[in-house]
Each structure stands twice: as C-alpha cells, then as structure tokens.
Structure 1
Amino acid sequence: MGSEQRVVIAEFYTTADRVLVFLISPDADEPECATVEIPRQQLREVAEGFQRRLRTTSAADLTDDALVRLMEPVVRWVRPGDMVYLVPHDVLHTLPLQAIEVDGVSLVDRCPVATVPSASVLRYCGFKRKGKRGNALIVAAPPDRRPLVFAREQALTIAQRFAGHDLLLGGEATRAALIERAGSVPRDVLHISSHGVFDSTNPLRSGIELADGRLTAEDILGLGLDVNLVTLAACESGVSLRRHGDELVGLARALLYAGSPSVLVSLWPVDELSTTMLLDRFYERLAKGLGKAHALRDAQLWLRGHTVRDVLAHAAATRSRLSDDDVSACAVHLEEAALLAMVGDYPGAARTYRLVLALAGGTVEQHEAAHLGAVRMDLIGDAADPAFDTLAFADPYHWASFILIGDWL
C-alpha cells in the first residue's frame, strides 16, 4: 500500500448549466473529461433538500438522479482499489459524494476515498506528512449543558490504541491546556470530541466548545501543529463557508494550514453511538498499519454491516462501564429503546424507556423523552416478530458523515 498504490483525482467544476468532471490518473497523458448536464441551481436545490431531510428525519437520501449521474463518470473511470481523491466544487463540498450509489454500488464500496479543497492543497498536504510516532493527545467531554455522554467512553477506548497518550477530560479540556499540549510533543493524532459550532457570518469564529470557551478557527491558524492527523468528533466540523473562487473558510482549512496533513471531520450533526463505534474501529485499523483513507473505508463498511443485535450488545457493554453515571446510562438506554422500537420489539422498548425513568440522576430532557417513548410503545402494543438481524446503521447518515481531508497515508 505504498508506492504501488494507484492514486487518481476526480475533480468537479460546476457551471450555470452543467458540471464538468475531470479524472487525473498516473497512466494517462492528459485528464479525461465528462460533461454532466445538471444546472448549478438544480444541484444547489438537491443539496439543500438533502440537508433539510437529514435534519428532520436523520436519514441521508442520496438517490436523486442528478447525484447518480454526477458520480457515473467517476465510478466508470476508477479501478477497484484505487486511492481516489475527490475535489468538489460549489455546493458539492456539502455532500458525501463517496456514498452515492451507481447501479447499487457506492465509490467507497470500491475504493478508499479522501477529499481535498483543491489539487494544489493536495500537494501541500503531502509535504506535511509525518512518520508514525505512536502517541496521541485526546481531548473530550468538556462540561456543557448538552453533555456528550459517549465522549468520555470514546476517549478512553481510543487512548488504548496508542502506546503513549495524553488525556484532557471534562473540566481539564480547556483552551489553554489544549494549546499548550498540542505544541509540546510531536504526535500522531490530535483527537477532539466536543460540540462543534459553525458560524456562517464569521467562519473564523467557528470552533470547538471547550471547558473555558470556544477554540476557534482563528485560534487554530495561530498554532504550529506537529501532528499527522486531527480528528474533530463534533457536529458539522467539516462545514465551511465558500467564498469567491470556491475558497473554503472553516475549521478543516485552518487545521491544514496550521500544519496537520490530514483532518477527519463531519459534514452534519452526528449520532453519538454510531460515531463512537466508527471512530474506535478507525483507530484500531490505523494502529494495525492501515493508511488513514483505508482505515476510514474499513470502518465505514464495518459499521454499515452491523445488525441491531450487534449494536444492542455493544450498547449493553458500554452501559456496564457507566454504572455510576446516570446521565450516560440514560443516554445508552434511550439508544437501546430506539433500536428495539426500530425492529418492532415495542414491549422491550417500553421497558427500556421505563429504566430511564427509574434513574433519578437523568436529565429532565431524558426523562421527558423516556416518558413519551414509553407511552408511544404502550399504544402500539405487542411485538410482531422483532427483526434483530436488521442492519442498524445501513443509512449513510450513520456511516458517511465523516470525511478525510488531505493526505491519505
């Protein structure tokens, strides 16, 4: 997977009435080009509809014919196993292009995929590549009125993947501590699990909420990051403002310019349970020597194949480690109840919702959700042969939100 890896670039350029798709490969004298007759405004409407449905239904619908036609040339050109770089343009920066299916198969089914804002940034990221160092700085679960209940568990699990690690958890996850530790020792990974904020009016004020305030994109531009990868396990950490000339301004671009050759970020608000499972698998594969793009592809396909039975077992194991934390235990129970309801085990879901009500330390919001859930399950009635072998995270909402930007290796 080193010098023998075939790397290709698929670059998109939108115009008023069509999209130009270019493929650059090492064995062609000049780029191949395809013209897809899709007006820019239509693409923008499709992307807006995708984001709107995502937020209202937690489902990622990528079946629109315009999206399928957009990816057809790429799927036709690339070979299985190629390392594919996608260079989006305009509104395409907001879509998980790698998850769009052509004839029932997505690009990520065939190839590892990474994204870059432009071909010139790809060269810059390659120059910044570092060797393996076997250590990580993990920042997670700063105090917040909306606690990320899986963040602490996620941090402790990820820490076990590295021979050396520094942990900043809870109240220790401050701006000052992160800035100090980030520049103190060369590292493989800087992993941050917290709430992300995108400021569309001033994207340099976008950032990550920490115990003592927001670490902004502007702050990050002032850092000298000696890391090989930064992971932002936060909602919409990969969203950027597009300026004239398709220049992107946001957290991901700031991290690349601060010195990281690669960033792993999300395109939309993520589900905590599926994100925790995805990232743990990603780091496991990274620790076994896979490149970042290959590790991400492996984790996405692995997560997509999990049944409800599998995920319930994972959730139960997680809950057993959270016995002294009612808020976290309630959060896991709510995830379990939703899964049981999804497969038709309504009595089981009702019982699980009532377990939340029995935990006095849960939040008001958790108890309200559990009360409504229990009433709804009681009204539905008996189970009708629950389908526990249903795939729990088959929807791209769960497995396609994270994209790797920058160096693939």
Structure 2
Amino acid sequence: MTAGSDSVLELLPMVYAAPNDALSRAEEVLGTDPSPLHASIAHQVIGIWQRDFGDLRIALTHLRRARDLAARADSAEREAEVLGTLGVALVHAGRTRQGLAAFERGVARGVGHTRARVLYLRAYVWWVLGHHPEALEDVRRAIAVLRQADDVIWTARALTLRATVHLALGAVERADADFTAAERLWETTGQEHDKADAVESRGLAKFRAGDIPAALRLLDEAEERYGKLGTPTFMLDIRRCEVLMAAGLAPEALAEADAAIGVLDGIGGQSTRKAELLLTAARAARLADDPNTAVARAATAVRLFAAQRRTWWETHARLVLTEARFTAGRSSGRLVAEAAAVAERLASFGSPSAPEASLLAGRIALALGWTEDAERHLAVAARSRRSGPPLARITGWAAQALRHRAAGSARGVLEACRRGLDVLDDHRMTLGASELRARATAQGAELAALAQQAALTAGAPRRLLVWSERWRATVLSAPPTRPPADPALLSDMTAFREIAARADAARMDGHPVLALEREQRRLEKEIRARTLHLRGDAAGDSRRFEPGPLLARLAETDGRLVELAVLDGRVHVLLCGEGRVRRFEAGTLAEAVREAEHVQAALRRLAHPGAESRLPIVEAAGRHLEQLLLGEAARHLGSGPVVVVPPGALHRVTWALLPSLRERVLSVSPSAGSWLRARETEPPREGRPVLVRGPGLATGGAEVPELSRHYGGSTVLEHDEACVPRVLEALDGAPLAHIAAHGTFRADSPLFSSLRMADGPLIVHDFERLARSPYRIILSSCDTARLASVGADELLGLVTALLPLGTAGVVASSAPVNDEAVVPLMLSLHKGLTAGLSLAEALRDARAALPGDALHQATGWAFAAFGSA
C-alpha cells in the first residue's frame, strides 16, 4: 500500500479528531481522479461531516455515492462500513425502515472487526430509536471483538455508547463505570472530537447522579472543546437544556432549545435532532409556565417521532403533551387514559420518567373526582420515593402526599411533604451558587403548598406558620459558596466592570453602545457560568423553625411579627405576638400586587417636584393596600415594633405607607427564621464605619461629607478611591457602611444588580466574595431594595445577598427617590444610630423629622429597614 493510500485511509479517524481538516482533505482527494476505493472513503468522510455538522440531504448524496463506489471497488469490507454510516444518516433523516435495512446488509457484508464497527453503529441507532435492549445487545457483541482487535478508538466509542444507554435506563453506576473506562482510553488518542464527546457524556452522568454544578462545568468544558473544533453541538444543547431545567432555569432552557432549532433548520440538519430539540423545548415551556407553547412544541415532536418510528421518544413526547394540556386547564377521562397508557409504556421501556406519568394520571383523576383511579395511579408513582435521583424521589413523595390528602389524612400529607422537602433540602445544599439554590426550590413548591393547605384545613395557625417558614427564603439559611480565587473569574469581573463603565459613559455622551453591550453580555455569561459551577460546601441551617423562640423574642419588646401566606390566591395573615399565633384572612394576592404596582408608579412621580397633587391618591392606595394585606389583623398590632414577612410576590410593597404601620418601628424580613438569625448576629467588636460616595449622583452624595464629620475616624472612599476592590476591602467585616451610589436592578439577571462605583458596577457576585459583609449597611439610592422573586418563594438581589453573609440589618429603597430629599433623611437616620437606636427605630424617627411636603414624605416611605439590627 502506498503512502498516498495511507493518507486516504487516515481520513476516517480524522473526521472525529479534526473534522474540518478531514473535510478539506477529502474534497482534495476527490479532485485528484482517485480510485473507486479512495473515492468511496472521501465521499464517506464528507457524508459523515455533513451528517453530523451540516446538511443531511448533502450527506445522503455523498454516502450513497460512497456505497456505490465501494461496490465498484469490489470490497465487501468497505461496502459494509459505508452501509453502517449510511444507515445512521437515514435514521437521522427520519427514514427509519431504510436505515435499518442498510444495517441488515452491512452486518451481512461485514466480518470480524468491520462487522463489530457496524454493530456499534446499529447499537447507536437503536439508542436513537429508544430500543435500549437491542442497543445493549449489539454494543455487547461489538465490544468483545473491538477489544480483541485492540481497537482503542472504537472500543472507547462503544463504551461511551453503552454508558449512555445505561443512563437512559436509570443505571447510573453502570454508566459511570463505562464512562470512566472510556475516558482512560480516550486519553491515549488524538481524537479531539471524541474527547469532547466524552466530557459531554461525563456531564450527563453527573446530572443523572444529581450533581448539577459538576454537570454544568463539564458541559461548558465540552462546549469549549467543540468550539475549538468549529463543530455544531446539538446533542450538547439538548443535554445542557436538561440540566438548566433541573436547576430551575426553564426560561433559559426554552430560549436555548429554540435557538438550536433555528440553527438546525438553517443548515438542513438531522430530523431526529430536531424532534429531540422540540421535545426539550416543550419540557422547558411547561416548566416555564407556558403550557400553550409546550403543547405546540410537544405535538410537533410527537408527529416527527412517530414518522421516524421512534416509539420510546414518541412516548416521552406524549407525556409532555398530556401534562401541558392538563396544565392548560383540560381535564377529561380521555386525558386520564392517555396519561395511564403513557405510564404503562414508559414502565415497559424501563424509563425513569414512568413515575412522573403515573403521578400525572393520578392528578387528572383527582381533578375529576375519580378517587379510586387516582389511588391506583398515585400508588404506582409513590414507589419512586424510596430510591433514585432526588427529583424522582420528590415525585414519589408528591404522589404519596396526594394519596394521603385524598384519604383525608392531614398527618400523612404533612409527613410526606416533610420527607419530600428533606430530599430537596439535601439536593439544594449541593449547589454552591445562591441563584441555583433559590431556583431549585421550585421543585418543592407543590409539597409546601399541600402542607400549608393541610395546616389551614386543620385550623392550626402555629402549624401553618411552621409550614409557611419551611420553604420560605431557604437560600438565606446558609451563605453561598465563596467563589475561589480563580484568576479567570477575577479577570472576567474586572473586564466586565470596565466594559460596563465604558457603556455607561457612551450612553451619557450619546455614542453607539451596541458592541459594548454585546461584550458585556458575553462577560456576564462567563461570570455566571463560573459561579454556577460551584458546589455547595456549607450545610444549611439544621434547626427547624419553631414558633416558641420567635414568640419569646417578640415578647422582649412587646413586638408583633406579621407573616403573610398565600393559599389558593388569597392572603392569610399570621399574626405572631403575645405568646400566640393568630390567623386572619385578607384580600386576594392578584389585587394586592396590582395595587402595589400602582403605588410604585405614583411614588416614581412623587420623586420629582411638582407632583404634590398625587399625594392624596398615594395615601388612599395605602389604605386600600392595608385592607388587602392585613385585613382585621391591622387592629391587633399592639403598640410595639412590627416585623413584616411578605411572600416573594409582595416584595415591592411600600410597607411604611400603610396607615397602621406608618408611625411604627417597622422592619421587613424575607422570613421569620432569617429575622431570628439576624437578631442573633453579633456585631463586630472593632472596626470603623465605612462611607462610600459613588459617581453621578445629583447631590454628589452630599450626606457623605457631613457623615464623615459625624463619625470621627471613619473610612471615606470617594472619587477614584471609590473603586470596587478598595470598597470591598473596606466593607469586609465593617460595623457600619453607608453607600451613596446609583443602584441598578437587573430583573433579567438579579445577581448582576449593582451599585455604580468609580471603576464600574459593584455587583451581587462581588458581595458574595466577602468573608463577612458589614453588620449594618445603608444604601441611600434608588431601587437598592428591589428583588426578583424566583423558585418557590425566594428573593434575589442586593439585600438578600447581604443577609446570609453576616449583615444583620439593611436600609434600602424599593422605589425611585429624589437624591436631594434623601440627604436630610440619611442625616437624621445616622443621628438616631449614634444615639443607640436600631435601624428600624432610627428610620422611623428620621421619617418623622422630614418636612411635610409630598417630595420628602414619598422619600421616607420608599425606604425600609430589612433584618434586625
């Protein structure tokens, strides 16, 4: 065999080592009048490239030509190999019958080593089609021969495939063993695309084992490797979307899946991948509370899978379609039968999704009042509560809770909910990023709601309080994992600040900012990805909330704590104080949210001079809000301090505007438990107050020079010294910090909410790098208390980033404020602190000291004290 022959034969392994180089060289071979054998190889290489990374129609043309040339070359081995490659392409094109027929001919034509490779390819196709037993049998036969032939590359591929099939069947340990063996083999080769695929597969295994941070890290690494090779990554897109959904990031998963579908359509890519992406998009839309989109995507996926004869996949798509229809408000006996049939088929496939389908059938039956049918289906779903990954066990406990509710056993409901939430607690604490911890709680929302409803039905306010606390603001029970001293992360954050500062300056000068915004978004994505990779390293607060310690603390000051719970759309007021917990019913959540938004709009107008005529409207709205949120409880608040614990949906309420709270010592807390923890936080024994003045304020932060004279020996950072590294250094462990800087709330990405410093934005991610945030912190600018409601009942933003890190109390604004009117409020506030008052006490007195005009009154109402200090 000549050197030229060797060069052509090297093209096939090269297509997964350096795909684009292999494509170019194959095209060069075809331009040299090659022999039928060499031309067959070149066409096969081009066909593989187009099949996996390009246009499937072009792929089929080249692979059929490769098959015909192999026959002309009178090489049965060559023909068998091409038939295997063609069979994969035909199946991906949705021509399943033709593809399987090509495999039959390929297996018959091949012998020994070649036949083993064709068997591997057929095993891959069986996996694509969802025929897992057949896939395992073919890959078993292939591995035995490939190992005997000492074919490292194809053995590693076969092990990776077998591991992937094991994962589809829920056999995580078997999959992990095969992935580990395959990885050892890949390290001895130069197959860069296969190596990237191995990293991607390990990410999938970590996900199936419940390790979301590791899964995201590995999938991002795989994406980087694919990027260097310049190849599309549709399978990676699907897997990443699965992980994002499990992490509570369903809207992102939907956007990524739809974007991948657009790219795939643009290049004429694989029909099989399109169906899988549609199924992924349907799942994401359902989890993102968009049932109509879920129905549309799932219905299209069902049609494609059926046409491709992919029963396993079609059945999974039918599960999503049935669930989306139920979520959209449809309930019927036919829907119960569809869900039950799907559950039966999934169980026959050995799919881990079978319990989910049984739970769905039980839910629909309960909605129709078919208790016997519901019990049968829920009993099947409940079996998964004892073993398997966390989300499967949570599904089982949800089914068990519904069984007990149907049977009228409140105790059984509460026990099932407790066990299910314990599973989710353990899973949540493996996540290092506060965003993931917060969003993961959505998985427990139904369990928490079932428990609250059981407590309400039992007429036990104390128990309702316990369950209201059980899944409220849990992200604050432990600080997020501190980002490591990662040079790449620190470099990205420095670059992000520089770009953001340049973009702000360009906007102010009226210059184009599109390129700067694009780079800022890229850096945000990098920073966020690195933080999502962090694994939890701290246990949550192991103490379960009990009303006794709370009531004892309140008794010390004759105080009251008002916790608002929302059940079936109505606000229930849990009034804690005088040694007891009482329940009052108030208005609807929807009406309260609307009224709170109207107040926000009115306060925005009052932040500018000349809007005095709107003050009576705002005050009237405050009275209406009090009826909606407190009802009769407003008459039982006593004369002492009040702590308000609202649900996430009501975090923007201006509580100081409510008549019964207006002249009180008032503080707000994300949960009763976090308020108790703040009360127990010890102030630092030493340290100096820190005063920071950022750029661009209308008054220039006029209160800061006054406060620097008020606090002798304070650390003052202004002008160029008010840069992020210097500010963070001063804030760490400070007894008191006052930051006068523009605040920006990012509803799209709350952990990029920021305070503007001299060198760019100080973001939430920066605060999370502190060993201990200031004991007390005052943020004197607009919107610094705005938060994003995520997960079950979690809040993300500047304030909630500080509370788990050692801050006992924060004063911040939940609405736009007038910079000039803020100055006297802040000076009065600090005067009260110097006199030994708490933040809430000092803020009450500072409001009372303001002039009585609309501008100053609105400014006072906009600020709230959070925590307890």
**TM superposition score normalised by structure 2:** 0.34
Deviations 1:310-336 (A, max 9, x none): xxxxxxxxxxxxxxxxxxxxxxxxxxx
Q: What is the match of residue 620 of structure 2?
A: 63
2-side partners of 1:199 and 1:14: how far apart?
A: 26
What are the residue-to-residue correspondences of 1:129-208 with 2, within 5 Å? 129-130=682-683, 133=686, 135-142=688-695, 147-183=696-732, 186-208=733-755
- Alignment of 1:107 with 2:666, yes or no, is no
Aligned 8 A contact 2:694 2:756 in 1: no
Q: What is the match of residue 49 of structure 1?
A: 598
Secondary structure in structure 2 of the residue aligned to 1:94: coil
What are the residue-to-residue correspondences of 1:295-374 with 2, within 5 Å? 295-303=842-850, 306=851
1-side partners of 2:716 and 2:633: how far apart?
A: 41
1-side partners of 2:782 and 2:709: how far apart?
A: 24
Q: What is the match of residue 314 of structure 1?
A: none
Aligned 8 A contact 1:262 1:406 in 2: yes
In the TM superposition, residue 87 of structure 1 has moved relative to its aligned partner by: 0.4
Q: Please point out which of 583, 588, 595 is paired with 1:33.
A: 583
Q: Please point out which of 548, 564, 568 is paired with 1:12.
A: 564
1:18 counterpart letter in structure 2? R
2-side partners of 1:52 and 1:221: how far apart?
A: 31
2-side partners of 1:156 and 1:62: how far apart?
A: 34
Q: Please point out which of 121, 124, 133 is paired with 2:677.
A: 124
1:271 counterpart letter in structure 2? N
Aligned 8 A contact 2:821 2:855 in 1: no
- Which sits farther off after the overlay, 13-22 or 2-11? 2-11
Count matched residues. 307
In the TM superposition, residue 158 of structure 1 has moved relative to its aligned partner by: 1.4
Q: Greater helix percent: which structure?
A: 2
Q: What is the match of residue 322 of structure 1?
A: none
1:22 counterpart letter in structure 2? L
- Alignment of 1:397 with 2:397, yes or no, is no
1-side partners of 2:779 and 2:620: how far apart?
A: 28
- Alignment of 1:263 with 2:806, yes or no, is no
In the TM superposition, residue 44 of structure 1 has moved relative to its aligned partner by: 2.0
In the TM superposition, residue 267 of structure 1 has moved relative to its aligned partner by: 0.5
The alpha-carbon distance between structure 1 residues 227 and 52, as it changes in their structure 2 partners (threshold 3 A), is closer
1:112 counterpart letter in structure 2? V
In the TM superposition, residue 134 of structure 1 has moved relative to its aligned partner by: 7.4
In the TM superposition, residue 282 of structure 1 has moved relative to its aligned partner by: 0.4
- Alignment of 1:98 with 2:656, yes or no, is yes
The alpha-carbon distance between structure 1 residues 133 and 159, as it changes in their structure 2 partners (threshold 3 A), is farther
Q: Greater strand percent: which structure?
A: 1
The alpha-carbon distance between structure 1 residues 265 and 85, as it changes in their structure 2 partners (threshold 3 A), is same
Secondary structure in structure 2 of the residue aligned to 1:168: strand
Deviations 1:353-376 (A, max 9, x none): xxxxxxxxxxxxxxxxxxxxxxxx
Aligned 8 A contact 1:50 1:62 in 2: no
Deviations 1:140-164 (A, max 9, x none): 033xxxx213244210111222232
The alpha-carbon distance between structure 1 residues 50 and 152, as it changes in their structure 2 partners (threshold 3 A), is closer
- Which sits farther off after the overlay, 216-225 or 280-289? 216-225
In the TM superposition, residue 396 of structure 1 has moved relative to its aligned partner by: 4.2
Q: Please point out which of 623, 632, 635 is paired with 1:76.
A: 635
1:202 counterpart letter in structure 2? S
Q: What is the match of residue 195 of structure 2?
A: none
1:83 counterpart letter in structure 2? P
2-side partners of 1:203 and 1:174: how far apart?
A: 21
- Alignment of 1:89 with 2:647, yes or no, is yes
1:73 counterpart letter in structure 2? E
Deviations 1:148-184 (A, max 9, x none): 132442101112222320111122110011112222x
- Alignment of 1:246 with 2:793, yes or no, is yes
Structure 1 unmatched ranges of 5 or more = 307-390
Which structure has the larger Rg? 2
2-side partners of 1:278 and 1:87: how far apart?
A: 24
Aligned 8 A contact 1:16 1:41 in 2: no
Aligned 8 A contact 1:136 1:159 in 2: no
Secondary structure in structure 2 of the residue aligned to 1:63: helix
Q: What is the match of residue 273 of structure 1?
A: 820
Structure 2 unmatched ranges of 5 or more = 1-553, 608-613
2:729 counterpart letter in structure 1? E
Aligned 8 A contact 1:134 1:163 in 2: no
In the TM superposition, residue 233 of structure 1 has moved relative to its aligned partner by: 1.2
**Greater relative CO, 1 or 2 (CA 8 Å, sep 6+):** 1
Aligned 8 A contact 2:731 2:737 in 1: yes
The alpha-carbon distance between structure 1 residues 252 and 167, as it changes in their structure 2 partners (threshold 3 A), is same
2-side partners of 1:112 and 1:39: how far apart?
A: 27
Q: What is the match of residue 325 of structure 1?
A: none
Q: What is the match of residue 758 of structure 2?
A: 211
Q: What is the match of residue 331 of structure 1?
A: none
Kindly report the root-mean-square deviation, in angstroms, between the aligned alpha carbons of the 2 structures: 2.3
**TM superposition score normalised by structure 1:** 0.70
2-side partners of 1:123 and 1:230: how far apart?
A: 18
Secondary structure in structure 2 of the residue aligned to 1:257: helix
The alpha-carbon distance between structure 1 residues 57 and 182, as it changes in their structure 2 partners (threshold 3 A), is closer
